[in-house]
Amino acid sequence: MPPGSDEDLLDQVHHYVLPAMQKQGPVVAWMVNDTGFVKKGTHSVGVTRQYCGQVGKVENCRTGVSLSVSTAAASLPIAWRLYLPELWTKDRKRRKATRIPDDIVFKTKPEIALQQIRAALDRQIPSAPVLADAAYGNHTKFRKGISDLGLLYVVGVQVSTPVWKPGQAPLPKRKWKGIGRPTSLLRRVRRHHPISVHELAMSLSSSAWRTVVWREGTRKTLRSRFAAVRTRPAYRDYWSGRPHPEEWLLIEWPSSETKPTKYWLSTLPIDSKLSDLVHWAKHSWIIERDYQELKQELGLGHYEGRGWRGFHHHATLCISAYGFLVAERSRFSRSARAGRVHLPSPETLPFRARGGPDWHGTA
């Protein structure tokens, strides 16, 4: 595969696969995610100690960031890029050894994801709400970037994320008294300040919580308790002249737990039903299935090389093969797909989603 052709090939793959997927239903979501590859040593491109979803903890690994498009029944990665830690971008010796292109500079995972989303819009892929876990949703710039592109989102956030109570907002700028420089910044005071999403969840009455079923699992119907309120994110709004727009805060509190377990912020319309919010928040399960098949059946996790180009070529070929399978499956009706014979898969490692009660990310 010639240099620089990975994006072109993935573009051809989505042109081939997406029409087949859409025969079963429209595109309902764009999903941002990353997946880790446990790796020993220090010489393979991008390897460092970082969070690895495959093992649910910090581990020596490298990570690929992807953007997928999804219908209700199928999904497909359409963009893929290695996350290159900052220490790698500054290490000339390792850059040369692994042949990292000169134009590759340090970008955070949310920055890479936004770049992929912009490219998808430029390619006129049917747009849909963007879904992501708390590793991305915690970043105000990431959420704002999605909104600036005219897209909606449903993203996980950390338990400590600051918000204003429903109906509240930061205080307006101080009235100028004619002395000193006028200020345009919003204010908060001791008796008027934001609280964490956890504090807000704990303040809700019992009537705010409802049990919602979101899909049929392989062994049981999946249901839990949820509440949704309109609120304003408050992260560093004291450096702004206007408050953040109001949006949905969705909270999950299973009846078997002593406290809420997950939180999402969403810009879905104000008239959205609770069941709709839950549907989108929980739709990301489909990408976990993709990575399971890509790694176990198609060899995504089997790459042993050390170079930048090889890492991306390998992933592109695996995604291409997966795209062919997705297109073939999409030719059958839903009932036929439900009855197809599954080959036994190796035992999977437990997946621990970021943003849960035992995970701490960057605000």
Tell me the pLDDT tens digit for each residue of 286-296: 988 899 999 99
| Residue 361, CA distances (Å) to 1, 120, 157, 290, 355 in order | 37, 27, 9, 24, 7
Compute the distance between CA of residue 116 and CA of residue 111 in angstroms, rounded to an integer.
9
Residue 163 has pLDDT above 80, yes or no: yes
Residue 351 has pLDDT above 90, yes or no: no
pLDDT tens-digit series, residues 168-227:
877 666 565 555 555 555 666 777 788 999 999 999 999 999 999 998 877 889 999 999
Instruction: Specify whether the CB–CB gap between 312 and 98 falls below 8 A.
Output: no
Residue 1 has pLDDT above 70, yes or no: no
pTM for the model stands at: 0.86
Instruction: Specify whether the CB–CB gap between 35 and 303 falls below 8 A.
Output: no
Q: For position 360, what pLDDT does the model report?
A: 42
Compute the distance between CA of residue 346 and CA of residue 234 in angstroms, rounded to an integer.
45
DSSP, res 175: P
pLDDT confidence bin for 86, thresholds 50/70/90:
very high
CA-based R_g, the chain, Å = 22
| Residue 336, CA distances (Å) to 76, 188, 297, 340 in order | 20, 58, 21, 6
Instruction: Specify whether the CB–CB gap between 303 and 295 falls below 8 A.
Output: no
Instruction: Specify whether the CB–CB gap between 66 and 34 falls below 8 A.
Output: yes
- Stretch 50-67: mean pLDDT: 89
Alpha helices in the chain (DSSP H): 6-22, 86-89, 92-98, 109-122, 134-137, 140-148, 197-203, 274-281, 285-296, 308-329, 334-338
pLDDT tens-digit series, residues 106-134:
999 999 999 999 999 999 999 999 999 99
Compute the distance between CA of residue 235 and CA of residue 125 in angstroms, rounded to an integer.
32
Closest by CA to 280, choosing from 137, 81, 158, is: 137
pLDDT confidence bin for 44, thresholds 50/70/90:
very high
- Stretch 50-64: mean pLDDT: 88
Give, rounded to a whole angstrom, the gap between the first and last alpha carbons of the chain: 40
Contacts 24+ apart (CB under 8 A), 87-92: 87/48, 88/45, 88/46, 88/48
Residue 265 has pLDDT above 90, yes or no: yes
Q: For position 304, what pLDDT does the model report?
A: 86
Q: For position 241, what pLDDT does the model report?
A: 62
Q: Taking all residues of the chain, what is their mean pLDDT, rounded to a whole number? A: 86
Q: Which amino acid is at 187?
A: R
Q: What is the DSSP string of 256-319?
A: TSSS--EEEEE-S-TT--HHHHHHHHTTTHHHHHHHHHHHHTS-GGG-----HHHHHHHHHHHH
Q: For position 195, what pLDDT does the model report?
A: 92
Instruction: Specify whether the CB–CB gap between 238 and 186 falls below 8 A.
Output: yes
Q: For position 359, what pLDDT does the model report?
A: 46
Helix (H, G, I), strand (E, B) or coil at 216: strand
